[in-house]
A and B are shown apart, each in its own frame.
Chain A
Amino acid sequence: MNPQNLLIPVLLPLLLALFSFLLPRGVKRLREVVSVLGAALFVYVAIAFFGQKETFLTLPWLGHGIDFELRLYGFSQFILIALSGFTFLITLYSTVKMAGDPRIREYYGYLFLTSAMSAGAVLANNLVPLVFFWEGLLITLYALITIGGKGSHRTAVKAFLIGGFCDFSMILGIAILWSQTGTLRMSDISVVPQGLTAVSFYLMMIGAIGKAGSMPFHTWIPDAAVDAPVTVMAFIPAALEKLLGIYMLARICLDLFKLETNSAPSLVLMTVGALTIVLAVFMALIQKDLKKLLSYHAVSQVGYMMLGIGTAVPIGIAGGIFHMINHAMYKSGLFLAAGSVEQQAGTTELKKLGGLAKAMPLTALGFVVCAAAISGIWPLNGFVSKEMVFHGSYETGYTIFTIAAWLGAILTFASFLKAGHSVFFGPRGLETAAVKESKSPITIPILILAGLCVLFGVYNALPLKLFIQPILAGHAAPGESIDFTAHALAVFNPIALISLGCLLIAFALHFFGFKRGGNKAYLASEPIHRLPVLRTLYDWAEARVFDLYEQGIKFIQAMSKFLFRFVDRPIDAFYEKVVVGVGRACIGALKAAHNGLYANYLAWTVGGLVIIVWAIGALLR
């Protein structure tokens, strides 16, 4: 394949973006049509790329080893397909959902810019172009969130700052890596994380998991869920950022660094993953807004991926990556479904919704399938990937992580029972009486995604063999099996049984809560919410005590105030007060001395003479 073609995945969306920007606001149809067709073409390109030989493109750029290098190989082909697919689906969905938005022009522009940047980041084979595209995504993220309207700006800034922090960490990590390895070409780097390179690993890991939205860099996601358009949520935090973040994490753990099982970096990664699973899902459980609930799950699921990749065991890694693609599908589907509900009912608050299944059967169907997939119900894709992660973590010997993952599974299911129950079942809310099914461009993406969930679950060999095995091909120990299809849907092994048991517990929990809450589904999580210690913690979380961003901003403010008051101002005061003061004092003394008395002046003269004569005498000696 001609290396120049590698630029197509970047340039095509870029052109689409420019088209959208330049097309006057008045023109309506054309924009949507071109966007959908362009996105379709993008998908076509991605599919055409699939299976191509490994291809490199190198263009001179900045010198100093900083070249514009792209590389197409198995992993990036896979991500590219996913990326283009999501772009297409979201574009399609947006034609209806975003119609009439005053900033529609920018919306499509940013959407395609995001695609272009992501494609660039995926294809980059040099750390600098990688950072270039990677960090550039901040802009589109910022811009897309602000499209949400009033109040969204604050969230956008929050997302921007958090993202910026993570990206700067990554830059530092890259810089250290470069200083250690001497090259910026990703395909040439492979080091064991020790000493400085370990620092580099952690810093780059922060960049990757920050993008993926892991704890503690997740806090903008729930906020954005409220403020940003739901398509944006479905596209970026749910799909794209996971794709990119976990892609990057996988690259870091597999290519750039040789991550050893149970080494410190591995354990750190697993710990963060496990914590993310548990903590985020606890937060998700008690949410009373569908979008917010979904967004916390978007965080929680990242934990599985990190946990999987962090195990550094082939099955774990494969599970993590598989979970990434699965999550992108069902979480997008869920968000889109939520968007559909929002579109029709005008709200996503669980309390106000209910019994929509009849009115919106297709949306409900999509939602239920995706929810089942995320909860890990046999034989959907979520089950497969989660099992792989459980296995992987179990293989490391640290069962604690597996237990955390199970705990997450319980609560995930419980919260989705609550969500699905509140929205689509039970009594119909009064305010939502006139709700109808959404238009086909909305339902089709949802159903496609739901369908894919089923497909990837039942025919798990398709993704596992086609996409994931090639990634692991070069990394697994020789002789180790990397074909996981055999027991992917196997139920009769201890781990799978425990997992299924978890689902039962979750069901019991939900039922218990449902009854306690007076048959109100949205109160089903209250028993857990009200548990003694948890309640306090929840209260704190509501007050954003655990929001690293809020604390960070407070820290920055405090530190700034400190530095300003105690360093900058004193320096200025030195010039304004001390220097001027000393000057004044001297002036005062001199003014007092020149008192106009002749005798005084003469005394100086005579005294001066005496001193001079004495001085000369002394110096002559």
Chain B
Amino acid sequence: MTNNIQTIILLTIFVPIVGSFTIPLAGLISKKARSFWSVLLALATTACSMLLIPFALKGGELAFRKEMAMGLDFIVVADALSIFMAVVSSFVGALIVIYSLGYIGHEENQNEYYLIVLLFIGSMMGLVFSANLIFMYLFWEIAAIACWRLIGFYRVREFVLKADKAFLMTFFGAVFMLLGFIIIYGQTGTFDLTAMRGTAIPGVAVLLILLGMFSKSATVPLHTWLPDAGVAPTTVTALLHAAVLVKIGVYAYARLFCYTFKLPEGWQQAIPIIVVFSSLIAAAAAAVENDLKRILAYSTVSQIGYIFLGFAVLNPMGVSGSLLFILMHGLAKAGLFLCAGIVIHATHQRDIRQMGGMIKTMPWTAVAYVFCAFSVIGIPPFGGFFSKFMVIMATVQSGRVWVAAAALFAAVMTMYYLFRVFSAVFMGEARSDAKEGTRSMVFVVVVLAVLSLLAGLFVAYPTQLANVASGEILRWMK
């Protein structure tokens, strides 16, 4: 049994990573072969990770290691948290790969594109299963490389600049995080997370590590790369960032600060405030921006604040809520980005002031947009409601009423700006005779919209897994 699980975990990590480098080889055969192979790899990853769900539901935890030099053992830990993250991100990742078939079909550098996306998924898998700080960092940076190549995918000067900015800012955060890890190492003499449970760590290390997390997860004040990156690349790339990449930092937060280390009291108080502040500022920026993709990117920043908040309040409901949030936000934000993609594709512009009345010509997109918007805002019965609700409940439960109030205000702002976009883009006077997107594009957004709805209606199933994960936190907090 254990061996089986081990094999599956290793497959989950290495199928995409090793597979990604075979994609150019497949590309030598034909375009079709490459696309097929990429999708196959992504699906295999998802399947592998999903095979772990029963194990996770049983509350199982498995850690195994490969000895290496100087405490840099490759340690893998599989528990409900990591399996939840793995399933969600590989699932969304696989969806993105499938959708890329249509979106990227006409561009150059497709080999590189699929290679990088698969590598990205692989690094994500590696990250969630790593229980060694250094290996976490390693996969973290592989993801950053992937992100860099993807943002600059079109090779246009301005986009490449944004890619560099994103890479630099996240790298800046990440190396300081590494420094934080090293400070912890200096204190404990190990990088092994499983051995450090319940360790109290110095505030400086927390600050440094937070720099990394905030930069990766685009939280104020290290968030500005995300809106920029959101503008530049293909829609799919933007989506990949919003739906998956930014979750890395959040996951690391959960893994480190909810499941492993004891935060100093001051930080425990400060972090919820910081993230809510971030949420508010991003919401404000989204309310002011006129560029469709920038708005959505800022919206991501704002929602990330919630996810952090749920983890930061350190109670089971918050953790459950945040994990659900990761899932729901992944689906709904993906839908929003893809709707935006269809709109931009049709109108060839991103300024919402130049759009209008598109509900007439693209009703499906409009409806899908509204569905996803509902989910992001947190309106039942869409999935986003439950996650947001649980995060708020948990925040109040931890005694932070004002923080919860601010978070709810951010939710009101979310309503405002998402409907501002909706009004500007789909309602009002038609400014162009933009046509509905291609069948596959529309199909995709509708599927995501429906998934957002279904995730809400059948919320009990993901919650079960999330609750197992959040149940573990109690064990470590004691």
B9 interfacial by beta-carbon distance below 8 Å: no
* Complex contacts, B419 vs chain A, CB 8 Å: 157, 160-161
B380 touches A168 (CB 8 A): no
A564 touches B401 (CB 8 A): no
* Complex contacts, B390 vs chain A, CB 8 Å: 62, 64, 66
B460 touches A60 (CB 8 A): yes
A157 touches which of B412, B423, B459 (Cβ 8 Å):
B423
A199 interfacial by beta-carbon distance below 8 Å: yes
User: CB within 8 Å of B: which of A329-357?
Assistant: none
- On whether A161 and B396 interact (CB within 8 A), knowing A131-B389, A136-B380, A564-B285, the answer reads no
A175 touches B397 (CB 8 A): yes
Nearest-CB residue, chain A, relative to B388: A171
A563 touches which of B284, B404, B408, B415 (Cβ 8 Å):
B284
A135 touches which of B223, B282, B379, B428 (Cβ 8 Å):
B379
B221 interfacial by beta-carbon distance below 8 Å: yes
Nearest-CB residue, chain B, relative to A173: B396
* Complex contacts, A519 vs chain B, CB 8 Å: none
Q: How far is the CB of B360 from chain A (nearest CB, A)?
A: 12
- On whether A61 and B460 interact (CB within 8 A), knowing A132-B385, A560-B284, the answer reads yes
The CA-CA distance from A574 to B386 in the complex, in Å, is 37
The CA-CA distance from A565 to B463 in the complex, in Å, is 39
B396 touches A563 (CB 8 A): no
B221 touches A571 (CB 8 A): yes
Q: How far is the CB of B367 from chain A (nearest CB, A)?
A: 10
The CA-CA distance from A160 to B460 in the complex, in Å, is 27
A538 interfacial by beta-carbon distance below 8 Å: no
B165 touches A575 (CB 8 A): yes
User: CB within 8 Å of A: which of B398-428?
Assistant: 399, 401, 404-405, 408, 411-413, 415-416, 419, 422-423, 427-428
B452 interfacial by beta-carbon distance below 8 Å: no
Q: Mark B53-92, 1 if CB is under 8 A from A, else 0.
A: 0000000000000000000000000000000000000000
B374 interfacial by beta-carbon distance below 8 Å: yes
How many chain A residues touch B (CB < 8 A): the figure is 48
Q: How far is the CB of A151 from chain B (nearest CB, A)?
A: 10
* Complex contacts, A128 vs chain B, CB 8 Å: 389
* Complex contacts, B428 vs chain A, CB 8 Å: 153
Which of A277-285, A402-410, A551-559 lies at the interface?
A551-559
* Complex contacts, A556 vs chain B, CB 8 Å: 287, 412-413, 416
User: CB within 8 Å of B: which of A516-559?
Assistant: 553, 556-557, 559
A164 interfacial by beta-carbon distance below 8 Å: yes
A179 interfacial by beta-carbon distance below 8 Å: yes
B224 touches A575 (CB 8 A): yes
* Complex contacts, B397 vs chain A, CB 8 Å: 175, 178-179
User: CB within 8 Å of A: which of B162-209?
Assistant: 165, 169
Q: How far is the CB of B430 from chain A (nearest CB, A)?
A: 12
B445 interfacial by beta-carbon distance below 8 Å: no
Nearest-CB residue, chain B, relative to A203: B405
* Complex contacts, A584 vs chain B, CB 8 Å: none
A168 touches which of B281, B408, B423 (Cβ 8 Å):
B408
The CA-CA distance from A616 to B405 in the complex, in Å, is 60
The CA-CA distance from A341 to B4 in the complex, in Å, is 74
A139 interfacial by beta-carbon distance below 8 Å: yes
The contact size tier of chain B is 35 or more
Q: How far is the CB of A219 from chain B (nearest CB, A)?
A: 16
User: CB within 8 Å of A: which of B267-295?
Assistant: 280-285, 287-289
User: CB within 8 Å of A: which of B448-466?
Assistant: 459-460, 463-464
B288 touches A564 (CB 8 A): yes
* Complex contacts, A560 vs chain B, CB 8 Å: 283-285, 287-288, 413
A480 interfacial by beta-carbon distance below 8 Å: no
B392 interfacial by beta-carbon distance below 8 Å: yes
- On whether A171 and B389 interact (CB within 8 A), knowing A62-B463, A136-B379, A575-B165, the answer reads yes
User: CB within 8 Å of B: which of A567-621?
Assistant: 567-568, 571-572, 574-575
A154 interfacial by beta-carbon distance below 8 Å: yes
* Complex contacts, B423 vs chain A, CB 8 Å: 153-154, 157
B412 touches A63 (CB 8 A): no
- On whether A133 and B412 interact (CB within 8 A), knowing A139-B374, A161-B419, A556-B287, the answer reads no
Q: How far is the CB of B202 from chain A (nearest CB, A)?
A: 27
A164 touches B377 (CB 8 A): yes
A172 touches which of B283, B381, B408 (Cβ 8 Å):
B408
B415 touches A568 (CB 8 A): no
The CA-CA distance from A585 to B165 in the complex, in Å, is 19
A196 interfacial by beta-carbon distance below 8 Å: yes
- On whether A179 and B399 interact (CB within 8 A), knowing A164-B379, A568-B285, A572-B224, the answer reads yes
Q: How far is the CB of A33 from chain B (nearest CB, A)?
A: 27
The CA-CA distance from A136 to B453 in the complex, in Å, is 12
Question: Which residue of A60, A169, A176 has the most chain B CB atoms within 10 A of its CB atom?
Answer: A176
- On whether A132 and B380 interact (CB within 8 A), knowing A175-B397, A199-B401, A563-B280, the answer reads yes
User: CB within 8 Å of B: which of A444-471?
Assistant: none
The CA-CA distance from A174 to B285 in the complex, in Å, is 29
* Complex contacts, A139 vs chain B, CB 8 Å: 374, 379
A358 interfacial by beta-carbon distance below 8 Å: no
B46 interfacial by beta-carbon distance below 8 Å: no
Q: How far is the CB of A10 from chain B (nearest CB, A)?
A: 12
A178 touches B393 (CB 8 A): yes
A50 interfacial by beta-carbon distance below 8 Å: no
A136 touches B224 (CB 8 A): no
* Complex contacts, B393 vs chain A, CB 8 Å: 64, 174-175, 178
- Which residues from chain B sit less than 8 Å from chain A, CB to CB? 165, 169, 220-221, 223-224, 280-285, 287-289, 316-317, 320, 374, 377, 379-381, 385-386, 389-390, 392-393, 395-397, 399, 401, 404-405, 408, 411-413, 415-416, 419, 422-423, 427-428, 459-460, 463-464, 467
Complex A-B: 26 CB contacts under 8 Å: A61-B459, A61-B460, A62-B467, A64-B390, A64-B393, A64-B467, A133-B380, A161-B412, A164-B379, A164-B411, A164-B415, A171-B389, A174-B393, A175-B392, A175-B395, A178-B396, A179-B397, A559-B284, A560-B283, A560-B413, A561-B284, A563-B280, A564-B281, A564-B288, A567-B281, A574-B221
**New A-B pairs, 4, CB < 8 Å, besides A172-B396, A172-B401:** A136-B381, A175-B397, A553-B416, A561-B288
- A-B pairs with lowest CB-CB distance, top 6: A175-B396, A563-B284, A560-B287, A560-B284, A572-B224, A564-B288
